[in-house]
Chain A
């Protein structure tokens, strides 16, 4: 059985600035990193490789330079790394991205059954959290989002039990395999590559699939298959703050005032 981690190479958003004139991202000189949530997805697939003997595959759609992220996955121990790269895939929104990823997962599944697909809960550049669910729907996989603990995997009974971390509560869910699971950071602590693995990954093969392999209708992928368009990018202006009470003179009254304001304004996520 195969476990797949979908990873995306993203610009390090802590270093991204917005050009105040053109309102676009200044991408020049910004280093790329593996989307942080995806590192946890990758880690979990490696753990299942270790604990259940599954075959771990890292999968990414992106420009040719996304190979770096997949090479890192090889250094961490995945058995295969596959890059989906083609000019016709370019400019994709979440819909056409999930089309391509789903097709690739299907193709991987032709050789050996895919049991679980892990995705990060969202990416730090788009922040939509739509691609994982999009894949699940297109493949008919069980959809388990925001998972912070894999409680049990029963390969024979073909079920998986997970804990979902929701706002203010947890949800324990059992689902049938195959499943698509999006993960949050609390799930695990990603490993660090050993040097021999890093050195070996330099020569290891990152497979590259274009649309020749996937044979998707060009109208369903890339820019053509993307109904989303970006009308404007801007940094939201934070509204002016307010100092509540006088914390220096009377901290207790100020705290009381603050709590009142939070409750009446319904600002607490309870």
Chain B
């Protein structure tokens, strides 16, 4: 009788669970297509390392606690599988296995259950007294912890009762179960021992089936989505955005969930709400409206709100787009993101680096910016000048293009000629127009000349690479400018490029590849490092002019292109001692505030990002703050003006090297 009831309950639960999963997970089908199944072997490797290996989870100390629950969960999946199976086919049990193996399994189940129980208790205490973020003490979070704990307790209860009754043999390696048996025998329940196994068995079954059906409707859905989400992650660094097809009749960017890709939507269903992204985000950290966690959550909410009707509509003959609610413009935290939040992003990529399940926030933000700029022409008013300047004069400041070569009027520079000059020195707008960064360009040419590097420049014919436009969502204008630049570089026969700006570096190297131009691009720090290593550049015995140096990682050099080592090693060669590190460095570095087109926007909300980063640098008491990006240079120069009694100076790495040249 009980057996039949269980079979019916289990069948109903499985049916309901499957239906729920189909309904929830199937919603991602409303998203646009995206190729994510290439290179399956590499994907499996990523999944093993980052999902099963929990590599990113354990990067933060408390992540270890999660990993304990996760790994225990994997082992206990066996126990629970056996539990359900033997419920349907009573003869089937691990007890049929050879005794040593059975014993080992029981030992493993005991240990894992205990570990999970302990980890869940620690998690509950942490969430109660030191929550990961404001508002994380939700009923849902505690309920999930309670359910896991209850499952473990029911397991021990069942095993203990069976041992106490003598139904099961005590196993030497199952100490907790044995202890539970002893406790039961000495408890008031001892007189009702006969009924206990059934009670615990049904309790365990009820918890298991209830939890299973609660999953799809909770943030705990991530136990189903996180592993595939890691498998489906972008195998390349997310340092540029895909092109758009500017044919008439097309729509651009995304303002509703069906305009995002299916992977964007799966991301939203994979979020565990751990809050790591928001701690890493420079905008969230300094009190801006943007919170990457809530952004992803908003996409999930909007998907749940609109997904079903979109899905029904896309199957039916007609589709009414008017019924879809907008992703942009509402209050944050609900089913839409505010425009202010979208414009706060510095595209630094810290959120994506922090996310244990590889959610890609930046592409979603740029897609929504694209909608605002291209479909609605809505953007902060400072950007109108930027867009006009870029379109008319191919530089962000609106300087006359004929002025572009002026920085070098006192120098004898050669124009780039294929076959005669090896490298194109791509000066960049800041290096050509900005007073402070012009000094860096001059220093760089001194270094290149000292090493006898063969290079040339484009002079006044150089055009802005358009990086800020692309991150700001003005893809149309970027597309126009990129095509011109690509054609120019191709006609000139450029193959090797050195840049002093990580933004130019990234665009020439990665964005332009989408236009069929494969360039060998090096950042000046890499090139100079190579020149020192090969002996082509002779450095004076260290002069100590720079004093103690702290290094700031540019997001587009570091996180977006993985160049951390070259500038550090170069600085060590020049100064004779290892560089000092800020508290947040390398992958965890904190943006200067100028990326993602923020260079051209006022910072009205919260504390200025550059001030926050400058304070972090000053805390190391350096003589010199070394940057490797013209935008960082501007942000640090500005930020230092707010620090009273500051004696530190900001130098580009090329300037530090130039000061240490022999002779």
Is the Cβ of B392 less than 8 Å from the Cβ of A195?
Answer: no
List of B residues within 8 angstroms of A193 by Cβ: 377
Contact of A15 among B373, B377, B402 (CB under 8 A): B402
B134 at the interface (CB under 8 A from A): no
- Give residues 357-411 of B contacting A (CB, 8 Å): 373-377, 379, 381, 384, 387, 392-393, 398, 400-402
Is the Cβ of B476 less than 8 Å from the Cβ of A198?
Answer: yes
Is the Cβ of A203 less than 8 Å from the Cβ of B400?
Answer: no
- What is the number of residues of chain A that contact chain B, defined by CB distance less than 8 Å? 19
Is the Cβ of A31 less than 8 Å from the Cβ of B392?
Answer: yes
Contact of A191 among B252, B377, B392, B401 (CB under 8 A): B377
List of B residues within 8 angstroms of A199 by Cβ: 246-248
Is the Cβ of B377 less than 8 Å from the Cβ of A192?
Answer: yes
Is the Cβ of B377 less than 8 Å from the Cβ of A194?
Answer: yes
Q: Which residue of B lies closest to A33 (CB)?
A: B392
Is the Cβ of A195 less than 8 Å from the Cβ of B252?
Answer: yes
List of A residues within 8 angstroms of B401 by Cβ: 15
Q: Which residue of A lies closest to B384 (CB)?
A: A192
List of A residues within 8 angstroms of B384 by Cβ: 189-190, 192
- Give residues 175-189 of A contacting B (CB, 8 Å): 189
Closest CB of chain A to B8's CB: distance in Å? 57
Contact status of A192 and B381, CB under 8 A, knowing A15-B401, A33-B392: no
Closest CB of chain B to A205's CB: distance in Å? 15
Q: Which residue of B lies closest to A189 (CB)?
A: B381
Is the Cβ of B392 less than 8 Å from the Cβ of A12?
Answer: yes
List of B residues within 8 angstroms of A190 by Cβ: 384
Main secondary structure, interface of B, reads: loop
Is the Cβ of A195 less than 8 Å from the Cβ of B374?
Answer: yes
- Give residues 252-297 of B contacting A (CB, 8 Å): 252
List of A residues within 8 angstroms of B387 by Cβ: 192
Closest CB of chain A to B484's CB: distance in Å? 13
Closest CB of chain B to A49's CB: distance in Å? 16
Q: Mark A25-61, 1 if CB is under 8 A from B, else 0.
A: 0000001010000000000000000000000000000
Is the Cβ of B248 less than 8 Å from the Cβ of A194?
Answer: no
- What is the number of residues of chain B that contact chain A, defined by CB distance less than 8 Å? 22
Is the Cβ of A194 less than 8 Å from the Cβ of B375?
Answer: yes
Q: Mark B439-454, 1 if CB is under 8 A from A, else 0.
A: 0000000000000000
Is the Cβ of B248 less than 8 Å from the Cβ of A15?
Answer: no
A24 at the interface (CB under 8 A from B): no
Is the Cβ of B377 less than 8 Å from the Cβ of A14?
Answer: no
Contact status of A12 and B393, CB under 8 A, knowing A192-B387, A198-B476, A203-B248: yes
Is the Cβ of A194 less than 8 Å from the Cβ of B246?
Answer: no
A17 at the interface (CB under 8 A from B): yes
List of A residues within 8 angstroms of B250 by Cβ: 196
Is the Cβ of A17 less than 8 Å from the Cβ of B402?
Answer: yes
A172 at the interface (CB under 8 A from B): no
List of A residues within 8 angstroms of B375 by Cβ: 194-196
A200 at the interface (CB under 8 A from B): yes
List of B residues within 8 angstroms of A33 by Cβ: 392
List of A residues within 8 angstroms of B402 by Cβ: 15, 17
Closest CB of chain A to B510's CB: distance in Å? 23
List of B residues within 8 angstroms of A202 by Cβ: 248
- Give residues 237-270 of A contacting B (CB, 8 Å): none
List of A residues within 8 angstroms of B392 by Cβ: 12, 31, 33
A200-B381 Cα distance, complex, nearest whole Å: 25
Contact of B374 among A12, A15, A191, A194 (CB under 8 A): A194
A199-B479 Cα distance, complex, nearest whole Å: 13
List of B residues within 8 angstroms of A31 by Cβ: 392-393
A159-B384 Cα distance, complex, nearest whole Å: 33
A191-B400 Cα distance, complex, nearest whole Å: 23
List of B residues within 8 angstroms of A191 by Cβ: 377
A31-B398 Cα distance, complex, nearest whole Å: 13
List of A residues within 8 angstroms of B393 by Cβ: 12, 15, 31
Q: Which residue of B lies closest to A12 (CB)?
A: B392
A199-B249 Cα distance, complex, nearest whole Å: 9
Is the Cβ of A195 less than 8 Å from the Cβ of B400?
Answer: no
Among B251, B373, B377, find the residue whose CB has the most chain A CB atoms closer than 10 A. Answer: B377
List of B residues within 8 angstroms of A200 by Cβ: 248
Closest CB of chain A to B359's CB: distance in Å? 28
A196-B251 Cα distance, complex, nearest whole Å: 7
A200-B246 Cα distance, complex, nearest whole Å: 11
List of B residues within 8 angstroms of A196 by Cβ: 248, 250-252, 375
A33-B398 Cα distance, complex, nearest whole Å: 13
Q: Which residue of B lies closest to A36 (CB)?
A: B388
List of A residues within 8 angstroms of B373 by Cβ: 192
A193-B376 Cα distance, complex, nearest whole Å: 9
Contact status of A14 and B246, CB under 8 A, knowing A189-B381, A191-B377: no
A192-B398 Cα distance, complex, nearest whole Å: 17
A200-B250 Cα distance, complex, nearest whole Å: 11
Closest CB of chain B to A52's CB: distance in Å? 21
List of B residues within 8 angstroms of A194 by Cβ: 374-377
Closest CB of chain A to B585's CB: distance in Å? 39
A194-B398 Cα distance, complex, nearest whole Å: 21
List of B residues within 8 angstroms of A12 by Cβ: 392-393, 400
A157-B354 Cα distance, complex, nearest whole Å: 64
A194-B400 Cα distance, complex, nearest whole Å: 26
Is the Cβ of B381 less than 8 Å from the Cβ of A195?
Answer: no
Is the Cβ of B246 less than 8 Å from the Cβ of A195?
Answer: yes
A15-B376 Cα distance, complex, nearest whole Å: 31
The 4 lowest CB-CB distance pairs between A and B, nearest first, are A195-B374, A192-B377, A15-B400, A199-B248
Interface on A for B, CB 8 Å cutoff? 12, 14-15, 17, 31, 33, 189-196, 198-200, 202-203
Interface on B for A, CB 8 Å cutoff? 246-248, 250-252, 373-377, 379, 381, 384, 387, 392-393, 398, 400-402, 476
Ordered by A's residue number, 27 sampled pairs between the chains whose C-beta atoms are within 8 Å are A12-B400, A14-B400, A15-B393, A15-B400, A15-B401, A31-B392, A31-B393, A33-B392, A189-B381, A189-B384, A190-B384, A192-B373, A192-B377, A192-B387, A194-B374, A194-B376, A195-B374, A195-B375, A196-B248, A196-B250, A196-B251, A196-B252, A199-B246, A199-B247, A199-B248, A202-B248, A203-B248
Q: Taking A15-B400, A189-B381, A194-B377 as given, write out 12 further A-B residue pairs in contact, using a Cβ cutoff of 8 Å, ordered by the A residue number.
A: A14-B400, A15-B393, A31-B392, A33-B392, A189-B384, A192-B373, A192-B379, A195-B252, A196-B248, A196-B375, A198-B476, A199-B247
